[in-house]
Structure 1
Amino acid sequence: MPEALEKESPVASSASVDDALSEALADVVLLVRQYRLLSGFAESLADTLDNPSQNPIVQGVLANLRSTLDGLHPADVAHILEALPLDERLFVWDLVKAEREGDILVETSDAVRESLIASMDAPELVAAAATLDTDELAELAPDLPREVVEAVKKSLDPEEREQLRQAMSYEEDMVGALMDFEMVDVRPDVTLEVVMRYLRRFDELPANTDQVFVVDREDKLLGVLPTNVILVTDEDRLVSEVMTEPKIRFEPTDHADSAAAAFERYDLVSAPVVDAHGVLVGRVTVAEVLDFVRESAEEDLRAQAGLREEEDIFASVWKSVQNRWQWLALNLLTAFVASRATDLFQGSIAKLAVLAVLQTIVAGIGGNSGNQTLTMIARAIALGQVGTEHFRRLVNKEMAVAGINGLIFGGAIGLVIGLMEQNLLLGFVLTLAMTLNLLLAAVMGVVIPMWRYRRGQDPAAGSSVLLTAVTDTGGFFIFLGLATLILLR
C-alpha cells in the first residue's frame, strides 16, 4: 500500500471537532481561574510589590489567555462565551481583539449577545458593527441601540445602505433575511477567458461560490455558470454557450423553510434571489440555510417545552422566571382540572384502591402516544408535507394505529394486572380504557397542531402541554368511569 494511503486522513471528524472545542473551553476556564487566583494573591502582597497588577506571572497567564482566544474561530469563541457564567464571560470578552468583536457577536445566541452588548459603550459597538458585511449587520441590528445603528448607516456607502435597508425589511423566516449580497456576476457575451481573468482580480472569492451568475445589462438573471465548468471548458467559448438554467431561484419574500427544503432536495451550495422583475438582488448560501435550520430546530424545542424565548443558562433568576411562567401557569391549571376528574370518583377509589395506581398508567401511555402523533404532524406541517385538507385522512390513520396499539399493549398489561389482582374484569377495564385514551390522544395529536396552524400559530408551541392536559383528564375520567360502571355497580 502506498505510504500516502497509509497516513491518517487529515479531515477532522465531528467527534474530534467537538473534542477540540471542549478542550479549548477547558483551557480558557483554567486560565481564567489561574488569573483570578494569581491576581488575588498579588493584591494580597500589595504592600511588598510596587505594582501587583503588573506581576510577570499574572501577566503571563493573561497573555496566554489572549493568545488562546486569538487562535480560535469566532464561532468557537462564541460557544465558549455562552458556556461561561456572566462575570467570567465579560472578563473573557474584554480580552477579545476589537476587530473580532463583530464576527463573534454575530455567532452568539440572542440571549448571550444581549449581555455582551450591554457591557459595551456606543463607540465600541459602532466599531464592531463597522467590520461586518451588510447581511451580517442586518442580523445584528435588531439587538443594537438605535443610535448605534444610525451611526453605522452613516458610515456606509449608498449601495450598502440600500442593501441594509432591504435586508432589515424582511421577516426572520423569509429568504430575504438569509440573503447574501456578496456574489459574482458576469455578462453572457464574454468568453470564459475573460471570466477567469475577472475572477483572478478578487483577493478572495465570496464564501460558498460554487457558481457565477449570468445577468444582462439590466441585471436580470439569465443563467448560472458553475465554477467547475469554467475550469474544464475551452476558454474561447462564450458564457452564453455554456451557462445553464439555475436549479431553482427564490424571491426575497419566499418562506425560508421552502428554501431549506430545496437546498436539501437539490444538494445546493448557493441559489440566486431575484425580485418580481427577475433582477438579481442577492443569493442564499448553504451556510445561512444551515444556521436557519439549526435555529428553527432550537426554537421548536423551546416551544414544545413552553419557553417563550431563547434563554441564557446563566441568566438571572428573575429573567428565567419571566421566560418560563406562561406555560407553567397553564400546565398548573390543566393539572388542577385533571385532579378534579379524579375527585369525582373518590368513592370508587375508596372501594378499590388499586384504581388510584392504575389510572396513572392509562394517562401516561396516552400522553406518550399522543406526543408521538403530535411531533410527527407538527414536523410534517413545518416541512409543507400536509395541510388542513389532509385532516380527515390523518385522523383515521392515527386512530387505526392507536386502536391496534391499544389492543396489543392494553391487552398485555390488562392480562398481567388481571392475573396479579385475580380480577380479569379489572384487566378488561384497563385494556378498554387504555385503548379509548389512545384513540383520544391520536385525535388530539392531529387536532391541536392543525388547529394552531389554521390560526397562523406555531403548530409545536405549547402543543404538548395542551395534549397532556387532555390525555390526563381524559385518561382519568375514562378509566375511573368504566371501573365505576363495570366493576362497582
Structure 2
Amino acid sequence: MPETTDISNTQATLSSISESLSAGAFVRVRKLLHDIAAGDVALLLESSPTKTRDILWQMLDADFHGDVLEELSEDVRNGIIGKMIPSRVVDALEDMDTDDLAETLSSLPENVLNNILATMDAQDRLRAEKAMSYGEDTAGFIMNTDTITLRREVTVDVVIRYLRLKAELPENTDTLYVVNRHDFLIGTLSLSRLLTSSPDVNVEDIMDDEPEALTVNMEEREVASMFERYDWLSAPVVDEDGKLVGRITIDDVVDIIREDAEHSMMSMAGLEDEEDTFAPVGQSTKRRSVWLGVNLVTALLAAAVSDMFEETLSQLAVLAILNTIVPSMGGVAGNQTLTLVIRGMAVGHVTDANALWLVRKELAIGFFNGIIWAVLIASVIALWKQDYMLGCVIAFAMMINMIAAGLAGATLPIIMKKMKIDPALAGSVILTTITDVVGIFAFLGTATLFLM
C-alpha cells in the first residue's frame, strides 16, 4: 500500500473519500483507499459509523487487510474481525509481526479465537500460540522475533556481504546481535560501527560485550521507562537463561506510551482506553452504566451523611446553600494530589522508598492550603451573612477536608497498587466519596454543635 506522508494531502484525501462515499461514487472511493497508507485507512475506519465502516472494509483489497488491522484500535479491530470468516482472518494475519499478532489474537473473544486457530496450519498456529504464551503487558508480549544475529569470530567484510545477500533488513534495525552457538546474547554491534570499521576486523573486536538486555517478563511500562532513560532505538529481549528471543523497537514503545496515556485519561471517566467512539448505542450504554452505577452508590452515601443532619438543615437554611463549598474544594485539591501521584507512579518516580515522604509532603500541603482557604472562606461568609460563628464553622470544616483530601490523594494510589487495583480507574471515585463524606460531616456536624 502506498505510504502518504504529506499531512495536508492525507487530510484532503480522507475528506474526498467521505464526500465520494456520500455521493455513491464507490469506484472512486476504492481507488482513493489504495492511495493512502494503512494508518490513514485505519483512522478513516475509526472515524466512521459502523455501517459506513463495513462498506469501506469491503472495498479494501484482501491483501491490505493485515496492514490495516495492525493499525486499528482494539474495539474497532475486534468488531471487523468478528464479521470476517476465519479463513480470511488467517490470510490477513499471515505476514503480521509477532507482537501485532499476539495483540490482535489475545484481544479476541474466545470463540472467535478458537475458530481462527482451528483454521490455521500447524506452523502458523505454533507461531500464534508462542506469541500469546507471554503475559500481556510484558516485554515478551510486545517484542518482535525478526532479529539479525552474528558470530563473534566473523569479520566485518563477511557480515556486510551477508547483509547484502539478505537484501532487506527488518524494520527499524539499528543494531545487530552477537550470539554464541547456543543463542546466548554475548554482545551487540551497531550498524554505524559496522559500516565505519575496517573490513578485515573481527566482530568481537568492535562489538559491545556488555549489552543492555530486557527480560521477557519485564513490564512494558518499565520497558518504556528504560527506552526513555537511555535514548534507545531498539533493545534485545532475552529469556530467563539469557538466550536471545527477540527485540523491541522504538515504534513499539511509542505505542506503549500512547496507550498508557489513553488508559489513564479514559479510566478516570470509567471508560476503556480502546473504546470505539462510534460503537452501537446499546453497547456503549451497557459499558457506561456500570460506572454510572458506582457513582450513584457513592452519591447516595454522601446524601445519607446529609440526611443525618436533616433537622439542622431544616432550622438553618443557609447551611444548605453553603453545604457544597467544602466538599467541592476538597474534591479539587484531592484530585490534584491523586493525579500527581498516579503520574509519578507511571513514570517510576514514586517507589516504596519515597512513598512515605511524599505522603507527608502532601499532608503538609493540605494543611497549609487548609489554612489559606479556611481564612478566606471564613472572611467571605462572615461579611456576606454577617455571622462570624458561621464563618468559623465553615473554616474549620474546610481545614479538615483539605487535610483529608491531601492524605487520601497521596495514599489511595499507593494502597490500590499494592492491592493490584488500577488507581486511574477507581481512585477518583473513592477520593470524591471521601472528600464528600468528610466535608459534609465536618461542616454539618460542626454546625450542629455550635450553631444549634
The 2-side partners of 1:247 and 1:421 are apart by 71
Classify 1:233/1:443 alpha carbon distance in 2 versus 1 (closer, same or farther; 3 Å). Answer: same
Residues 434-453 of structure 1 correspond to what in structure 2 (within 5 A)?
A: 434-453=398-417
For residue 461 of structure 1, give the secondary structure of its aligned residue in structure 2. helix
Deviation at 1:113, TM superposition (A): 1.0
Amino acid at match of 1:485: L
Q: Please give the per-residue CA displacement for 1:159-189, whole angstroms capped at 9, x wherever unaligned.
A: xx65433321112211000110111111111
Q: 1:187 — aligned with what?
A: 151
Q: 1:45 — aligned with what?
A: none
The 2-side partners of 1:303 and 1:247 are apart by 37
For residue 284 of structure 1, give the secondary structure of its aligned residue in structure 2. strand
Q: Please give the per-residue CA displacement for 1:58-91, whole angstroms capped at 9, x wherever unaligned.
A: xxx3232112211221111111101100000000
Pairing 1:300–2:268 present: no
Q: 1:129 — aligned with what?
A: 93
Amino acid at match of 2:431: L
Residues 28-67 of structure 1 correspond to what in structure 2 (within 5 A)?
A: 28-35=17-24, 61-67=25-31
Pairing 1:145–2:109 present: no
Deviation at 1:346, TM superposition (A): 2.7
On the 8 A contact 1:308/1:324 being kept in 2, the answer is no
Deviation at 1:155, TM superposition (A): 5.3
- The structure 2 residue matched to 1:406, chosen from 370, 377, 395, is 370
Pairing 1:237–2:201 present: yes
The 2-side partners of 1:383 and 1:247 are apart by 24
* 416-425 or 224-233, which deviates more: 416-425
On the 8 A contact 2:39/2:68 being kept in 1, the answer is yes
What 5-or-longer segments of structure 1 have no aligned partner?
1-11, 36-60
Amino acid at match of 2:19: L
The 1-side partners of 2:322 and 2:211 are apart by 57
For residue 457 of structure 1, give the secondary structure of its aligned residue in structure 2. coil
Q: 1:72 — aligned with what?
A: 36
Residues 244-283 of structure 1 correspond to what in structure 2 (within 5 A)?
A: 244-245=208-209, 248-283=212-247
The structure whose Rg is larger is 1
The 1-side partners of 2:297 and 2:70 are apart by 40
- The structure 2 residue matched to 1:113, chosen from 77, 102, 105, is 77
On the 8 A contact 2:331/2:405 being kept in 1, the answer is yes
For residue 201 of structure 1, give the secondary structure of its aligned residue in structure 2. helix
The 2-side partners of 1:471 and 1:23 are apart by 49
TM-score with structure 2 length normalisation? 0.92
- The structure 2 residue matched to 1:213, chosen from 177, 186, 200, is 177
- The structure 2 residue matched to 1:418, chosen from 359, 382, 391, is 382
For residue 433 of structure 2, give the secondary structure of its aligned residue in structure 1. helix
For residue 48 of structure 2, give the secondary structure of its aligned residue in structure 1. coil
For residue 268 of structure 2, give the secondary structure of its aligned residue in structure 1. helix
The 2-side partners of 1:416 and 1:167 are apart by 64
How many pairs align?
Answer: 444
The 1-side partners of 2:122 and 2:356 are apart by 56
- The structure 1 residue matched to 2:419, chosen from 436, 455, 458, is 455
* 187-196 or 425-434, which deviates more: 425-434
Amino acid at match of 1:211: T
The 2-side partners of 1:406 and 1:187 are apart by 66
For residue 208 of structure 2, give the secondary structure of its aligned residue in structure 1. coil
Amino acid at match of 1:235: P
* 208-217 or 407-416, which deviates more: 407-416
TM-score with structure 1 length normalisation? 0.86
Q: 2:324 — aligned with what?
A: 360
Q: 2:333 — aligned with what?
A: 369
The 1-side partners of 2:14 and 2:313 are apart by 55
Deviation at 1:370, TM superposition (A): 0.8
* 96-105 or 23-32, which deviates more: 23-32
Amino acid at match of 1:147: N
Deviation at 1:224, TM superposition (A): 0.7
On the 8 A contact 2:233/2:249 being kept in 1, the answer is yes
For residue 462 of structure 1, give the secondary structure of its aligned residue in structure 2. helix
The 2-side partners of 1:251 and 1:331 are apart by 40
Deviation at 1:387, TM superposition (A): 3.8
C-alpha RMSD of the superposition: 2.0
* 141-150 or 321-330, which deviates more: 141-150
The 2-side partners of 1:376 and 1:164 are apart by 39
The 2-side partners of 1:163 and 1:279 are apart by 18
Amino acid at match of 1:321: T
Deviation at 1:226, TM superposition (A): 0.8
Classify 1:391/1:263 alpha carbon distance in 2 versus 1 (closer, same or farther; 3 Å). Answer: closer
The 1-side partners of 2:13 and 2:44 are apart by 8
On the 8 A contact 1:413/1:431 being kept in 2, the answer is yes
